[in-house]
Amino acid sequence: MTEMVYGTHPAREVEPILPKWWRTIDKWSMSCVLMLFGVGLLLGFAASPPLAEKNGFEPFHYVQRQATFGFVALLAMVLTSMMRPSLVRRLAILGFIAAFVALAFLPFFGTDFGKGAVRWYSLGFGAIQPSEFLKPGFVVVAAWLIAAGQEINGPPGMRMSFVLTIMIVLMLAVQPDFGQACLVLFGWGVMYFVAGAPILLLVVMAALVVGAGSLAYTNSEHFARRIDGFLSPEVDPNTQLGFATNAIREGGFFGVGVGEGSVKWSLPDAHTDFIIAVAAEEYGLVLVLFIIALYVTIVVRSLTRLMRERDTFIRLAGTGLVAILGVQAMINMGVAVRLLPAKGMTLPFVSYGGSSLVAMGIAVGMLFAFTRARPQGEINDILRGRVR
C-alpha cells in the first residue's frame, strides 16, 4: 500500500571499489612512487653487492630483501589509499599508540647495532625502527587534534598537539635521533602554520629549536661530532661525506657508467643513507635530476589537490604527510652534497630498509586516501558563495 501511494525508490547503484579507486586516485603521483621504487631496485643492484660480499651473502641478497619489503610497502600503500579518510584516521590512531609505546620502551629493550644510537628492536631475522611507523600516525593524530580545536566548544587541540610533539621530540633525542626529531617537529610546524598559527609563534619556536641544538651540541658527543664535520672547511676524504662528495664530483653529468662506480666499495651505508651518491657516480646528474623531479611532482600535485579540500582535518593531515615526505628526501640528498649535517635518514622508496619502506608506503597510502577526488564542493566554491 505504501508503494502504491508514495511510489518506489530506485536502488542506488554502488560503484565497485577498484573502479572507484582507480577513477579517484592521483595516477601521476602513484606513477612517480612506482618509478622511485624501480630506481631504488636499480641502484640496489649497484650498491648492495659489496655489502653482501662483506657479510657472506649472495651478491643480490639485499636486492631480494628490498624487493620483498617493497612489495609489502606498495601493497600497504594501495590498500590504505582505498580507505575512507575516517577509517584511515581510526587505524592511524591505533598505529600511533602502538608505535608510541614501542618508542617509549626502546631505551630498555632496543639495540644500536653498533651505530651509537638505540633506534631498533632486534627480531633475530631482522629489525624494526618504531620511529619510522610513528611519523605517519603522529601526523594524523596531530591533524585530528588541531582540527578538533577549531570547532566550536572543541578541545584545546593545538595545545594538546604541541605537548604531544614535544614528548615525541624528547623521546627521539634520547636515542639520539635528532634527524627524526627535526622531521616530526617540522611536520607539526607546517600543520600548525596551515591551521592559522601566527608567524611570531613560529619564529619563537625556531629560536627554541636553535637553543635546543646548542644544548645538544654541548652535551652530546654524537651530535657535536656531526656538526663539527659539517662546519669543517675541509672534508676528510676517508669519511662518509668525503667518499660521497668525491663520487658526486666524479659522476659529472652522465656518470662513469653502470657498475663502474667505486663509492659503493668505500661507503658502509651506500645502499641506505648515501644511495644518491651511487646514483650520481654511475648515472650522473641526469638520474639525480630525474629523482628530484619525481619527488617534486608528488609534492606539488598533492598540495594542489589539498588546497581545494574543504575538510580541515584532511587538509592538515595531507599537508603534514607530504611535508614529511618532501623534507626527508631533501635532507637525505642535502647530506650527500654537504648542504646539511649527516642525519642518518633514508631516501623514501629508494634506499634499502624494511621499516622505512613499509612505513613510507603506509604514509603515502594515507596521503593518496586524503587526496582522492570526492563528490564535494571545493573550498573555492564556498569562498565564492560567501562573496555573493
Q: Is residue 305 part of a domain?
A: yes
- pLDDT reported for residue 244: 80
- pLDDT reported for residue 252: 84
Torsional sign, CA 381, 384, 385, 386: positive
**Is residue 342 scored above 80 in pLDDT?**
no
Tell me the pLDDT band of 152, cut-offs 50, 70 and 90: confident
- pLDDT reported for residue 153: 84
Cα distance from N-terminal residue to C-terminal residue, the chain? 46
User: Residue 387 half-sphere exposure, CB side, CA atoms within 13 Å?
Assistant: 6
Summarised one tens digit per residue, pLDDT across range 300-321 is: 999 999 998 889 999 999 999 9
Apex 216 CA angle, 210 and 222, nearest 5: 130
Distance CA(230)–CA(232), nearest Å, equals 6
Q: What is the pTM of this model?
A: 0.88
Q: Render 144-196 in DSSP notation, one character per residue.
A: HHHHHHTSTT---HHHHHHHHHHHHHHHHHHTT-HHHHHHHHHHHHHHHHHTT
Summarised one tens digit per residue, pLDDT across range 170-191 is: 899 888 788 888 899 999 999 9
- Contacts (Cβ under 8 Å, ≥6 apart) of 18: none
Q: Is residue 226 part of a domain?
A: yes
Q: Is residue 242 part of a domain?
A: yes
Q: Is residue 45 part of a domain?
A: yes
Distance CA(342)–CA(338), nearest Å, equals 8
Distance CA(278)–CA(149), nearest Å, equals 46
Q: Is residue 387 part of a domain?
A: no
Q: Is residue 388 part of a domain?
A: no
Closest CA to 80 of 136, 16, 3: 136
Distance CA(132)–CA(246), nearest Å, equals 30
Share of the chain above pLDDT 90, in %: 43
- pLDDT reported for residue 267: 75
Summarised one tens digit per residue, pLDDT across range 269-302 is: 777 888 888 889 889 999 999 999 999 999 999 9
- pLDDT reported for residue 125: 73
Which one of 105-119, 300-314, 374-388 scores highest in mean pLDDT? 300-314
Task: State the total domains in the chain.
Answer: 1
- pLDDT reported for residue 387: 44
- Going from the C-alpha of 53 to that of each of 61, 277, 380, the distances in angstroms are 9, 20, 58
Q: C-alpha cell of 5?
A: 501511494
Q: Is residue 12 part of a domain?
A: no
- pLDDT reported for residue 154: 82
Q: Is residue 328 part of a domain?
A: yes
Domain, as residue range, for 28: 23-374
Distance CA(241)–CA(237), nearest Å, equals 8
